[in-house]
Amino acid sequence: MTKNQIPLWEVFIRPRNGLAHKHCGSVHAADEVMALQAARDVYTRRGEGTSIWVVPSSAITASDPENKDENFEPALSKVYRHPTFYDIPEDVGHM
Amino acid sequence: MAAASSLSRETLTAFLLRLADDHLVLGHRLSEWCGHAPMLEEDLAMPNMALDLIGQARSLYQYAGAVEGKGRDEDQLAYMRREREYVNCLMAERQNGDFAHTMLRQFYFAAFMQPLWQAMMTSTDEHLAGIAAKAEKEVAYHIRHAGEWVVRLGDGTEESTRRMKAAVEALAPYVDELFESDEVTRAMAEAGIAPDPTTLRSAFDAIVGPVFAEAGLEWVETPYGQTGGRQGRHGEALGFLLAELQYMQRTYPGMTW
């Protein structure tokens, strides 16, 4: 099999200082330098970012959609895990 | 515009139009790739750079129109001047060729403009210094982006190397014109508005040299460089470019949308 000359990279952008990098899409590029440039050109044209990460798509291990039920359904019935069962005094303000 | 006192408006206008024409013509050339790039990522990267260039051209045309003082605005300067009135360098109007050719041309032009913008950031002409401060960041990215491609294509596959070497051959006759000096550039240098282009060659070589070394490319000396763009003598390519660029205003003068 021939080596893929321009593999896929996942792009993460941090919109502002203090926020986390968020996945926003993917690009094709020959290496990490070109991947960063491609990400800059494709995903930050409207001032979306202050920082970019690129990660080889092949480095990502994903959960199997077939295991969706056993992975995620048990959480649905545990509403008590949501921090909504107490009142926040007004003086505390926005949390 | 304080510096313009010892300098004729015509001379400053002539200088500004050269710069503006370089940027509009090359920006238009790059924009021709839109929808035709080898991959989606480059299909955005090239119009991005084209928009930088056209934005710089707009600022320069607006300023040139104001300095000229004859009531011509940016649109009239861009759309209503004839081929022989255009004073862009010949490299800018060269047809795109293949992707390697386009990237090398972009790299050369950016390597010429970066030291020029940097020097003009401290121009005695404050308006021009303002344009330069914005453009300098944009051109830095053009050097990085086009330079990375020159390295990867020059030092890539057998075919990409062949194509990049062909681009070096094809563009060699158009490099020296960038650094030509005449009464306009010397007047700019004397007034402290912009350095004479002859003084920018070493900075250009310092940008191009390391990239060529990494790409495994060799500089090609050319016995007879092409020249004439600054006097309005152009190659065949510019007429076709302007025909497309100016069609709408020529057909419907004064049209807006």
| Predicted confidence (pLDDT) per residue in B95-134, tens digit | 999 999 999 999 999 999 999 999 999 999 999 999 999 9
Q: Both tokens of residue B186?
A: 């010397």
The C-alpha of B220 sits at a distance from chain A's nearest C-alpha, in angstroms, of 27
| Predicted confidence (pLDDT) per residue in A46-67, tens digit | 989 999 999 999 999 999 999 9
The answer to whether residue B4 scores a pLDDT higher than 70 is: no
- Residues in contact with A2: Cβ distance below 8 Å, sequence separation at least 6, in sequence order: none
Residue B6 pLDDT class (50, 70, 90 cuts):
low
Note whether B144 contacts A29, CB cutoff 8 Å: no
Q: Which domains does chain B have, with CATH numbers?
A: 2-220+229-251 (1.20.1260.10)
ipTM of the complex: 0.79
| Predicted confidence (pLDDT) per residue in B202-225, tens digit | 999 999 999 999 999 999 998 889
Taking the alpha carbons at both ends of chain B, their separation in whole angstroms is 32
Strands A8-14 and A22-28: antiparallel
A36 has a chain B CB within 8 A of its CB? no
| Predicted confidence (pLDDT) per residue in B24-74, tens digit | 999 999 999 999 998 999 999 999 999 999 999 999 999 999 999 999 999
Q: Which CATH class is domain A8-85?
A: alpha beta
User: Cβ contacts (< 8 Å) between A40 and chain B: which residues?
Assistant: 141
Q: Both tokens of residue B144?
A: 């990085």
| Predicted confidence (pLDDT) per residue in B135-148, tens digit | 999 999 999 999 99
pLDDT in the model for residue B5: 53
pLDDT in the model for residue B3: 47
